[in-house]
Amino acid sequence: MNKFVLPEHPHCPHDHSQCVSDALSAAEQVCERAGARLTALRKRVLELVWQSHRPLGAYDLLETLAREDDRRPAPPTVYRALDFLQEQGLVHRIASLNAFIGCASPEHTHQGHFLICRNCRVAIELDQSLIHPAIAKVADQMDFSVEAETVEIAGLCSQCREAA
């Protein structure tokens, strides 16, 4: 991995290879603690998911894997790795896009809440403390016990809005 690659999207310029390596070492730790095995395949899928801050479809990942390893893996290979990564809290699924994105802070398990730009397709993970309280309050009022929160806000990020 090249250290000073250009970020894969024009916004929020940053050393993206740092994101990737941070994510990978965080993942090592998380799995270590959980007694789970971060195998080569799972690690590679996580790395691919992190190649940008955009949600990626399972079949996109398959394509990439196929290109680098001449024997094309079948869908279950990628889905199983994604299932594992989701269980460990390392990846979130974006239901409204049928796509997957790396979790920004896998240390403590949490729900993913996202702002998703329809133009540049970047997904920004929100701090859970921002929206969860409102949800918890409603759920409490309705005597509903929350198990999973899907919060996906689509629109335009500031850069894309300015550009338009």
CB closer to DNA, 16 vs 52: 52
Amino acid at 137: K
Q: Site residues for a second copy, window 63-82 (CB under 8 A)?
A: none
Min. distance of Cβ 41 from DNA in angstroms?
4
157 is in an annotated binding site: yes
- Tell me the C-alpha to C-alpha distance, in Å, between residue 94 and each of 6, 118, 133: 25, 13, 21
Residue 146 as a binder of a second copy (CB under 8 A): the answer is yes
Residue 137 as a binder of DNA (CB under 7 A): the answer is no
Q: Site residues for DNA, window 88-127 (CB under 7 A)?
A: 93, 98
Q: Site residues for DNA, window 62-91 (CB under 7 A)?
A: 71, 73-77, 79-81, 83-84
Among 67, 23, 77, 62, CA closest to 46? 23
- Tell me the C-alpha to C-alpha distance, in Å, between residue 91 and each of 56, 65, 125, 143: 11, 18, 11, 29
Annotated binding site for Zn(2+): 117, 120, 157, 160
